[in-house]
Structure 1
């Protein structure tokens, strides 16, 4: 995949309505690496005069939306000059960022931080990313353009992580594959595991299906009719979890985060299938949430 421009095309849910588009905003290019790190390059900011870098204290500032007092809500990354005259800041994959959306600013000295706009994003290393063997938390950061044309990051930090793969829809069923990361022995973890669909309306409603495992890879099939058994009209949402046979290990939410798409809800869409239910005819389809977690929606026909 070639480097992609960060022109804002899809609104990202959760953007602050108080953001203002600034046509003269300073832009930052982003380059991602396969370890989850990001490098920011700023080329068009009015910097100090040549020779004044001895007292340079510029910073790239990340601010997490919704962070309360005392929470990890701000990260400052030192900005330094590069040989080509730009300013650069690095966010290594080893720096722990809580999950969420982080707005990106630039600041110098005591000046008020200034919002950055997206430039070019080189995210090729994120496409079909395959993390190596590790039990450390997996860090994922994807830069994106907000609906107001500003630069933000969507971040995840998960261990273990169950990455959802291809989803195939057949008559009355969905079959999905995936891969388990950040556990010491994925094959042992998956031995006897099941996929659980948990209803948000009633936590006691659970639909389970066995998992077929091959090393760290897994697959499962869910029947749409089972989702419709307890449906009484309206909308039911079911979240998909991977649960090991060993009760000492916690279940893992299925998600798709190992690529360069920050918000999959409106991009990875699947057709609805009609199912006969005790209450009437329902439609069922898989979908990705605003957090890129995999779920199933049961609803009235359109």
Structure 2
């Protein structure tokens, strides 16, 4: 069978795209599958599609691309389909979309075409052909549409063979709203893949939420509830992943509640599974969820979910008290805070719910969901045969629907090998393991190379890439899944998943064996004995073992390593190495001052105790050494210390548009290099305060983390019109 998906933009990271990627991969086990993206916004998709799935696009919107069509004459003419901007704010379609989508629907050889959003359902109903099954999908819900979109969408449904919602409650609403429509309106939930990450240990003391920062997600409810939890459980933190129009409102709320050092806006991360695995609890606080892919994603990582019992998805996924907790919507913040407190304080409950979550997630495996769609296709085909005498082609289609399609042979090489992609994992001892698919690697013995970026000495570390002792001669596939045996034991992991390669190759940088100078280390493979390096892209980077981890200390100094994906998708390791370091524990903003508590690691402060009587923190100006000053530091416990910087001292030393000061305990830098966050300047944001300067006018003073994750102070001119 030939199946085609019609999607707005397959190159983004939204839930519809994730669902399409998962379902298309499951279909590819038995069918010929194509994903047709109306728009192409980048060179490669942000979310990986199965290599057996053909990804094509109708309109090229890549800036600078030779095929860029943003100025096509037809973009000046209005489209004829009802408008739909969706949750992501896409521009309305024009006559160019009319031409391209209509052309695809006229010429496609697919047996089934699946449209994935309201206006695409409209195109499929209006311009689709009787020769194939026309299946519309609903990734939101009927209640989320206002007029006239609701009427337009409902009218389009009548022209489809089937309309598929992701919750049974939503399907029932559509059936009730369209009693005379003959279209099959059914529920098939989204398929969610089991991720290639180790399950959460549930002891990180991190609450994780993820999704678009839009009003319906009610992250404001979550932040208010967390404020109550944070007051009782000082070790717990909140991380919210995603982007959207509510970001600034949430930032203001976090700062107003004094949670800047406890609640973090982490930005958009893809793949998100690595971040779920860092959580001890997952949080969904929405007023409405059509399905709840994030719920199943968290469950796949063994993380119990606390979700509002909102229409429609959470209550159809979570069995309250068995694999998660449902919170009544009418209880609002207090009820949600009580549920969080319950699971935060009960380790046994977290473990029991996490185990139940893993079991529940299996019901949403893409292979299971694909079978449900195949059953739907068969039923639609039988229905057509009964009502259409000339349906010989559909009889053949129905007979083919469950016939496994032979696996495609590996493509022949045409002078270039596949780009090797790495699955990196931070180890509990602070090291880094890199897993590789042998099918993507050059032949012969190989070395893994970590090379210090922009280093005049061109320092690098080489370790052998080890083949598995029990590997077959050939392997196939590109997805790396859970590891059964560790490289530390001298064996390459053997992967048990049925849809993973039989083996992987890999290498480990051990903390006790290797020294990485401070900086950024790019990662390569090269044939042994040569310097013909091939840079590694990052397929997946797991950092969960680093959450809450203190810097390492040995005779070489204080060190930390964090594997990460660069902005352009390559694997790298961020490293710190210094004789001593002061790790920031808390940053408290007072009225006209900032107070910092930190822990000293490494060499003793001076010749005496780490922080003794008379210790000072030096506030070092980058503008003029004449503006340097010091503040007293006092001991807190065995290795901790605390100090306060009055902003009046900063204001008294202002001279240029943007003055900056670094902080040092004696000669020891103060910052945050422990944990799993490569760039604290993007996540660990400290609120500023505005003062009036006699010469420079309004000035905002703010503590911030630098590109090296060191704490500094900023005093910057503020535009008189700014708030």
Structure 2 length normalisation: TM-score? Answer: 0.36
| 1:137-286 matches, cutoff 5 A | 137-183=557-603, 188-192=609-613, 193-214=615-636, 215-243=638-666, 251-279=667-695, 280-286=697-703
- Residue 96 of structure 1 pairs with residue 519 of structure 2: no
For residues 626 and 458 of structure 2, what CA distance do their matches in structure 1 show? Answer: 34
Q: Secondary structure at the match of 2:596?
A: strand
Match of 1:35 among 410, 429, 446: 429
Residue in 2 that maps onto 1:60: 448
**Residues 133 and 289 of structure 1: CA distance in aligned 2, closer, same or farther (over 3 Å):** closer
Question: Is the 1:2–1:122 Cα contact (8 Å) retained in structure 2?
Answer: no
Give the CA deviation at 1:264: 1.3
Question: Is the 1:256–1:292 Cα contact (8 Å) retained in structure 2?
Answer: yes
For residues 98 and 131 of structure 1, what CA distance do their matches in structure 2 show? Answer: 14
- Residue 130 of structure 1 pairs with residue 547 of structure 2: no
For residues 629 and 574 of structure 2, what CA distance do their matches in structure 1 show? Answer: 30
Stretches of structure 2 lacking an aligned partner (at least 5 in a row): 1-198, 202-207, 209-267, 273-417, 468-491, 495-502
Give the CA deviation at 1:301: 0.9
Question: Is the 2:420–2:440 Cα contact (8 Å) retained in structure 1?
Answer: no
For residues 125 and 45 of structure 1, what CA distance do their matches in structure 2 show? Answer: 28
Q: Secondary structure at the match of 1:121?
A: strand
Farther-moved stretch of structure 1 (281-290 vs 136-145): 136-145
For residues 72 and 132 of structure 1, what CA distance do their matches in structure 2 show? Answer: 25
Question: Is the 1:265–1:288 Cα contact (8 Å) retained in structure 2?
Answer: yes
- Residue 77 of structure 1 pairs with residue 463 of structure 2: yes
For residues 625 and 434 of structure 2, what CA distance do their matches in structure 1 show? Answer: 43
**Residues 65 and 136 of structure 1: CA distance in aligned 2, closer, same or farther (over 3 Å):** closer
Q: Is the helix fraction higher in 1 or 2?
A: 2
Root-mean-square deviation (Å): 2.7
Give the CA deviation at 1:237: 0.6
Q: How many residues align?
A: 273
**Residues 136 and 34 of structure 1: CA distance in aligned 2, closer, same or farther (over 3 Å):** farther
Farther-moved stretch of structure 1 (120-129 vs 223-232): 120-129
- Residue 116 of structure 1 pairs with residue 530 of structure 2: no
Residue in 1 that maps onto 2:270: 7
For residues 265 and 253 of structure 1, what CA distance do their matches in structure 2 show? Answer: 16
Give the CA deviation at 1:8: 8.1
Q: Secondary structure at the match of 2:560?
A: strand
Q: Secondary structure at the match of 2:648?
A: helix
Stretches of structure 1 lacking an aligned partner (at least 5 in a row): 10-23, 50-55, 244-250
Give the CA deviation at 1:126: 1.4
Q: Is the strand fraction higher in 1 or 2?
A: 1
For residues 679 and 508 of structure 2, what CA distance do their matches in structure 1 show? Answer: 23
Question: In the TM superposition, what whole-angstrom CA distance separates every residue of 1:137-161 from its partner, at most 9, and x where no partner exists?
Answer: 1221111111111111111112211
Residue in 1 that maps onto 2:419: 25
Question: In the TM superposition, what whole-angstrom CA distance separates every residue of 1:91-112 from its partner, at most 9, and x where no partner exists?
Answer: 1113111111111111224473
Give the CA deviation at 1:204: 2.9
Q: Secondary structure at the match of 2:454?
A: coil
Farther-moved stretch of structure 1 (291-300 vs 81-90): 81-90
Higher relative contact order (CA 8 A, sep 6+): 1
